[in-house]
Structures are given as C-alpha cells and as structure tokens.
Chain A
Amino acid sequence: MKRVIRSFLRYLARRRSLAILQLLGIAFGVAAAVGMTLASRSALENMEGAVDFLKGGSTHTIARPAGPMEEELLTKIMNDPSVKFFAPVIDRRVRLATGDQVRVLGVDPFLDKNVRSITREIASSANPEKREDTFRSFLLDPGTVLIDEYIAKAGNIAAGQSLMTMQGPLKVVQVFANPSGEPLVIMDIEHAQKFFRMAGYIDRTDLVVTDEAGLRKRWAQGFIIESNQQKAQTLSALLGAFKLNLQALSLLALFVGIFLIYNTAMFTVVSRRRDAGILLAIGASRGQVTLAFLVEVLLLGVTGGALGGIMGYLLSKFLVQIVGGTISTLYFFLRHSALPWTFWNIAGGTLLGCAASIVGSLPPLLELHRVQPVQALRGRTTSRSASKKMKVVGTIGLSCLVLASSFFLLSFLNVYIGFAGAFAFLLGASLFAGFIIMITVPFLKRIFSYAIGLGGKIAVGNIRENLGRTSVAVAAFMIALSMSIGLSSMIDSFRHSLIWWMNGQLRGEAYISTKNDIVVPEEAYDELKKVPGIGGIDVFRNVEISFRGKPAGITSIDAAVLQKYAQFAWLEGSDRSWEDVRRGDVIISESFSLRFKVKMGDRVTIDTARGPAKLRVAGTYYDYASEHGVIMIDRSLFFRLFNDRTINSLGIFIDAPEPEKEGILEKARQISRKYGLPFSTREQFHQRILGIFDSTFAVTRSMRIIAVIVAFLGIAGALMTLFVERQKEFGIYRALGFTTGDVARITIAESIGLGLISFFMSTVVGTIFTFVLIRVINRQSFNWTIFYHLTSQPYTVTFLTAIAASVAACAYPVWSVIRKYPIMQIRED
C-alpha cells in the first residue's frame, strides 16, 4: 500500500507545474474564505473592545429618548436608591481643522473616576510637580483637553500645544493611551457645555446600578434606560445586515473555492484513471486505490489549506481596512486593526482545505469506486459516456433550480433561506455546464473554423471530447463570472436607484452639516433664516430609537418645506400626505414598513420625553438612508414630543432665479464657515453620498476579484491537465504536419473557447443572480427596493475579464507546447 501511495505522490513532484497550479487553486479558495472571515471577525472584535473601554465600569445609561437631558435631573438621579455611582457625560463630535472628525467626551473628573478608568488617569502621567497644575488647568481653563495618542501622532501634537478644530483651538494638557481605537478627546463637562453651546444640558448619564427594576420603574416615563447588555445587542443589531452581507461574501468565496478544489481533486483522479486501472488489473482493491488518491488529495488539501491560511491572514489585513472603513462610514467609528497572527490561521486553513478537498474529491472518487477496471484502463472517459452523464447531471441541476425557486418563495421567512436559494441556484446552474458545452459546440466550431481554420475545429472538438474536464472548468469559471456580473449589476442598479432617490428627496441647493457630522447651533439656523432669497430651510434631526426592541430612527423635518420643494417617491400615500404630517401624522420609510410590518393608516407607538405617543402613519416612502427604518415627523411635533431642539443638518432651498443663487449660496457658506460647519452644494452632497456608497461596496469588489483569480486558476489547471493528458495527440498532430504555431493556436483557441462558453453562460446566470440579489437577498437583508437597471458595463468588463483570464490561463500550456512539441512522438508512455 505504501508503494501505491508513494507512486501517487511522486506524480506531484513529476508534474510540478500542474501540482503548483492545483496547490494555488486550493490556497486561493481557502484564502478567500479565511480572509473574509478573519476581516469580519476582527472588525467585530474591535467594536467590542471600543465599547468595553468607553463604558468602563458602568452598568447602565439614562438619557432622554432624543436630544440632551436637563442638568438639574442629576440631583434626582444622585438621590435614586438604585444608583451606586453616576457620571454625567457629553458625547459629541468635533471636526478638526484637517477635516477629520473626532469624538469628544465631556466628563466630570470627580464623578467619572467611579465609572471609567480613563478619567482616573487625568494628570497621572504628568510630572509629579506639575500634576496638580495639569489637573487644575483641565478643570478650570476653558478649552483644555486631553487627547489620545492617535490624534497626537496624526497631528504631531504634544502636551502644551493646541489642537485646531473648526470650532476653535483646544489646549492639550495631556496625551493618553486609548485602547478603544476611536480618536478621542476628553474635556471637563462644564467646558464641553460651553464649547457645544448646551449650557444646562448633558447628553446622558452613565450609572452603576444596584436595582435595575426599581430604577426602570421610577424613570419609566420620558427616559430611556439601557443596560450594557442591551447596548451591545443594539450595536450588534445595528450591524446585523452588514454582518450578514459579510457572511454571505465569505460563503460565496468558499463556494467558488470549493469548486476550484473540486476541480483540482477531479483532475487529480481523472488524469490518473489509467494508473488506477493498472492497479486494479494487477490486484489492488478499489479501497486501496481510493485511499491512495485520497492521500494525494489530502496532501494537496493540507499544503494548499495551510498556505491558504497564511494568505488568508495577509488578505484579512487588507480586507479589515475596507470592512472597518465601511463600518466607520455607515455605523460608528471603528479603528481597523487586523487580528494578531495565531497558529489557528494555519490550522483553520488546513482544516478547510482538507474538508473542501474531501468534498471536492468525493464525486470523482465515487465514480472511480464504481467504474469497471477495464474502463479505468482506457484512461480518459469517452465523450459518449460523458455526454450521457452530462444529461444526468443536467437533470440534477434542474432539480437544484426547482429547489432554489422554492427557497426564494419561502425567503420571506428568513433571509438565510434566501441565501440557501442563491447557493442552490448557482450550484444548479453550474451543473448545466456540460450540457451547454454540448449545445454551443456546433456554433463555436463554425466561428473558430472561420477564424483559424482546421485548428479551430480541432480546438472546439477537444473541448467537446474532454467534457468531463472542460465542464468543471467552465462551471467554476462561469460561477465566478456570474458573481461578477450579478454583484456589478446589483451595485449599478442600487447606485441608479440611489441617484433617483437623491434627485427626488435631496433637492436642496445646499446642505450644512450631515446626520453623522457635528451638530448645527440654533444660532446658525436663525442667521440663515434672515438671508433674503432663501425660500425654505429644512431642519433635519435624526435620533436612533429602539422600536419593538430593534434599532430604528426618528427623523424630524420641516414638512412644509419638503412639501414645497422635495419630490418623495411614495409606496403608499402621495404628496398630499404632507398635509397629514403637518397636522401631526408621520410617514415611514419602506424599510420601517417592511421590518415592522406597518402600513399606511396603522398607528405606531414611540417612547417620547412625554411618555408613549401613538402616531398615525400617513404614507410610506422609498428610502435608502437607513436599513433599520425611519419614522419621519414634522419638527414642531418632534419638539413637542421630545423637547429636543438639536439640529443635525440644514437643507437650503432657494426660490430666487439663477443669477442670484450664487450670491445667496455664498452668504450661506459664510454663515456655515463662521460656525465651523461643513457646507456642500447639492452636487457635492450627492457626490459625497455616492462616495460613501462606493466605499461600502469596496469589500464586494475585492471578493469579486478574488473569485475571478480563483476561477482563472481553475481554467489554467484544466488546460494544463488537458495538455499533460494529450501528449499522444500532440504527437499525432506533429506526424500530420501541424507546426508548433498551429498547436499553440489550438491551445489558445481551446482556452478562449472555454472562456467564451463560460461568459455566455454567465450572462444568463449572472443576470438571474442580479435579480436574486435585488429581489431576495437585499430586500430581506435591508428591506428596501432596488430597481433593476440594465447597464452594459458589467457585461463588457466581465467579457474582457473572461478573455483576459483565458489568454493568461493558456500562457503556461502554450509555453509548454512551444518547448516540448518539437520533440513529441506518438507513444503512450
């Protein structure tokens, strides 16, 4: 037995180029899955680390449902019997002169040290003689702050220097170590109140509580009490759809990876069928032959998997930046640092490589186990039996498609059913590869024969004759190309839907600040109102709330302004719904409607500063601003319910004719500059949103590239195997008078033929996959409608990718032809 295994393993050394291709195939497949998994895990661990650091030892927080809470409430909180420690906090953002945004925590150093370790460190690192001065300065000098090491390093700022912000300079008295990763500035709470123009108010109070139930009972109306556990759940829920997206991408990467590994395993088995036949003829049992193959496949799996584990780790370092960047842009700041290297990266990769290799090698090994020795002795399977098998495989593919359709119909139950449907669909489609080759070969033969004559006919004939190999290579390549078309078309459609939505909903001539940027002082709003020519200002305020235990948003707007200037797209209701909003009704976003199953005419109950309020839904509008859902209410009602005058951003609408517009905008820009607020024209605002959109899909694009690399290796492996197997045929070509150039052209034509068939299949499969992503996956994950938009770009790019990958894949086989063909002879061994 050892000798049989040794004989098989020597093959790897003998056909090094093929073995390296096989090894790389497995390694890339594993790397894609490991890289994506590590990147998403690292992002989530960073998030947990940041949250843990900032919450310190607090157990709960108390805040108003929206906006700041009154300072005088602190006495009542202090006297609450359930409260052991309390620490008032101002938690805001400020934009630095460099344009970067940083978080500012306003804390009371005396109260906060019972809750947060960071506050205890104030003045701790200073020189003992200067310690008291530092502390006194922090406490008494307005605009004195502590900055973390990241800000200090980025701005090259040391203690005693100034930190320049768009709202004025801040004096740095100390630099501290910040394990949370988020750029952080700490300020005394009193100075923070002045800095943010919120005298008498705080954002929240962090608590250490002994009796949660009692506290909740006493502060039930007008307050939101959140435990740390709830906060973690909220953050996790906030990232729910994003995490799902990452998981899906990891699975897709693994899916293509397994395909490639299957490809590799199948080539290993099929290319040595004859050896198996010899072994069976001289008395080896099927079990022994199967075991020998399994050892070889596992050796490739272990080596490729381990290599993939290392490559996956390196890939995760790159991906974690994209993932972290996207989370920071869309949800909350996250410093992206990759997970530390561990041995488990190799172990995990090896395990994955082995598991996928076993799964991948099962079909060919089972076939080998069933085949008569005499058939194995013949070596390559005949095209006739392969054709018959392709019909059977096609029938299985059809069953997969039926199964996929059932999953899609049931996907409303759970998004994972939708994912299962997507995988069943891709699997089903891939099983048609052989069948498609069979029916496209006559057309290809005509084209190739016209293009390069007899060689073209031979090339296409070879694709048809070696159906067992070529169908798997086409399937793997087709899946990667379909993913490319599907993901690109989905992103394009989404982008077009977003532009359509922005053109209707965000029609202001200019915008001051944004939802995630710094707060707009009311004085700025008052000044703007006085600028002649401004027809209306939409005062935008967004607060995150918990609705039926899930995160959602309340957006306050000026209904009269939007009624006049905006053109909302309605799912339910119409522009007349604005009248109802002005009277005290609300409108809801599509995602809110789908997520919470609320329709026009229903009533929603929300917690407000005055207790629960029941509001009638006057309409549902298309929205891509938040996948968690938004309740939109008029500012007057919002103020009545929440007593919150905070302004997140202002939308400026101008009635004046074109020549005067510039002057009015310039005045608005000056006011904005005066208050250190970011200003953008409509075009800039739209471009910024599109920029965020594009960065959100950076991960998806990266995975698409990896999928194409993996599939490229599949095609290269297939061509290389065919080259190795067909040495005898090359001898015949030589005997017949084919030149090296002719055979090289045949090889190139075969590769391009495989690429073309894969591309043609992927145009159909990819387009259907786009609809699956839009109608099933996105709708279930994000609860919004994306309108399909046909653009030629995804198809053109994919076509060029297919041709480029095919040509690149045949480079080595062509080189081998040029090197070896002149000495080839007609012989078997």
Chain B
Amino acid sequence: MYEKKAIKGAIVISAIRTYDLWKEYETGGHDGIALRGIELDIAKGQIIALLGKSGSGKTTLLNLLAGLDVPTRGRVEIDGVDLQGLGEKGRTRLRRHKLGFVFQFFNLLPTLTSIENVLLALELAGRPDEKLARESIALVGLNGKEDRFPHELSGGEQQRIAIARALVKNPPIILADEPTGNLDSHTGTQILDLLTNRCRESGTTLIMVSHSLKTCQYADRILRMLDGRIFEEESYEGFAP
C-alpha cells in the first residue's frame, strides 16, 4: 500500500513535508510543548543541519519524521505520503526501506557483531546480502573489523558501523541525531565527511541534528530550532547553536 502511494507521489519533489506539527508531553501541570506548529519542506537530496539548544525540540522533530513517535497535532509527509495514514505496519515498512538512522549513542545491538548489525538492516529490508554488508563496512573504513562486537570498537568506529548500517540499504532519507555528539573533534569531522559524501554520491536526503556549528559547513540548508519553533538560517556565522 505504501509503495502505491509513493508511486502516486512521484510528482512531488519534496522528500519531507510537515504541516502545523505540534507535540505536547504530559508534565504534570508544566508547559510540556516540544513542538509548536512546525512547517517544513525538505527537497530530495538536500543535506540539512538542524541546530538548536538542548530541549529546543530537535530530537522530537526527528522522531516524528521517522514515525517513531506520533504528533499531538499536524502531519508529516514522506515522499508525499502521510505517515499517520500509513498505520503501524506502513511506518515499519517505511523505516525498513526509506529511512536510515544514525544515533548519537550509536545504538548498535551489543550482542551482534559489526557485520551482523549491518546485515540486520539488510535482512529487515528483505535483501540479506553479506557481500553488500562487507562492502558497506569497507566503505566506512573498517575493513577487518567485521567480526568485532560493539564493545570491542572505539566510539568513532561504532559510529562508522552505525553509518554503514544506515547506508547499506541505500535509503532515500537518512536521519542523524547528533552523529558526532559523542565523539572527539577529529573523529567527528571524519564522520561528517563520510556521512555527507556518501549521501551526496547517492542523492540521499540527510537531516543532521547537531549542537555543533561545524555540521553547518556540510549542509545545504541550516535550520535552527528555538522553543519548539523552527527558523531558516542563511548562514551559521554569528549565532550560537
């Protein structure tokens, strides 16, 4: 069903659109509004840097875009298809085929080896191909570390495996939540290079949530979040994230 809608939406050039997107949390009487009417339109192949202070709503927005959470109001469209209308099964298929995820804390399954973590994403997408998984690991520069468990890798290496896992199924959209947030500056730069280069090569839309202004250097567009609202920035110079 999702595929059909996606084909129907082929004339739409937006990869992601949001309409009046609100998210409220129950906080026991306090103001728990994380997002306040976000309107967003991201074209296919764009690389976005989403900046903002802690608690500004960046991660909440990312979770809504991935269908990992449900909005209080408004809607999200991926390739012109309303996520709410897809239902749970449809959203699961969307994550399998259309989305790749890179988290701040890597979120690799600790009991699977590097190759198994990458293969898992392919398996879920219905394309179990060990050769492809190995190539993907080689592309992120970790040749020879396929059989290591996450705890046997450094933070940077774990993030590379996470990137390999996101890229291996060649998704049209990659959502990265603070991909360098847990890494040192040098490794962070390497990761950003790797991620953005691979996305540009394959025409993948990339949204990177970050605190770091360095991320803006790699982005086509810079979006800034403040108190649940989103603002377009022409340049990252002159403002603190």
Contact = CB atoms under 8 A, between A and B. Distances in A.
Interface of A: 1, 3-4, 6-8, 10-11, 14, 274-275, 278-286, 372-375, 377, 384, 828-829
Contacts of B106: 829
B95 A283 contact: yes
Contacts of B92: 280, 283-286
Nearest to A828: B105
Given A282-B101, A373-B68, A7 B88 contact: no
B96 A283 contact: yes
A6 B112 contact: yes
B103 to A, nearest CB: 8
Interface pairs A-B: 5 shortest CB-CB: A283-B96, A10-B111, A374-B69, A283-B95, A373-B68
Contacts of B147: none
Given A3-B120, A284-B124, A829-B151, A11 B68 contact: no
Nearest to A279: B109
A374 B71 CA distance: 12
A384 B28 contact: yes
A1 B123 contact: yes
Interface string B83-119: 0000011001101110101010111111110001001
Given A3-B116, A373-B69, A829-B110, A282 B28 contact: no
Tell me whether chain A's interface is mostly helix, strand or loop, or mixed.
Answer: helix
B99 to A, nearest CB: 8
Given A285-B92, A374-B63, A278 B107 contact: yes
Contacts of B139: none
A689 B15 CA distance: 87
A374 B111 contact: no
B146 to A, nearest CB: 14
B69 A4 contact: no
Given A7-B116, A384-B28, A282 B165 contact: yes
Contact of B119 (A3, A280, A375): A3
A675 B68 CA distance: 90
A280 to B, nearest CB: 7
13 contacts: A3-B123, A7-B109, A7-B116, A10-B111, A275-B110, A280-B92, A282-B120, A283-B124, A285-B89, A375-B69, A384-B28, A829-B108, A829-B151
Given A282-B95, A384-B28, A372 B121 contact: no
Interface string B208-219: 000000000000
Given A3-B123, A286-B88, A829-B110, A281 B101 contact: yes
Contacts of A829: 105-106, 108, 110, 150-151, 158
Given A7-B112, A10-B111, A373-B68, A283 B125 contact: yes
Interface of B: 28, 63, 66, 68-70, 88-89, 92-93, 95-97, 99, 101, 103, 105-112, 116, 119-121, 123-125, 150-151, 158, 165, 182
Contacts of B120: 3-4, 7, 282
Most chain A CB neighbours (cut-off 10 Å) among B97, B111, B119, B151 = B111
Contacts of A372: 68-70
Contacts of B101: 281-282
A282 B121 CA distance: 7
Nearest to A1: B123
Contact of B111 (A14, A284, A375): A14
A719 B151 CA distance: 24
A7 B111 contact: yes
A278 to B, nearest CB: 5
Contacts of A374: 63, 68-69
A279 B120 CA distance: 9
A592 to B, nearest CB: 62
A279 B182 CA distance: 21
Nearest to B97: A283
B68 A282 contact: no
B157 to A, nearest CB: 12
A282 B103 CA distance: 11
B111 A8 contact: yes
Nearest to B28: A384
A283 B93 CA distance: 7
Contacts of B66: 281
Contacts of B96: 282-283
Contacts of A278: 107-109
Contacts of A282: 95-96, 101, 120-121, 124, 165
Contacts of B121: 282-283
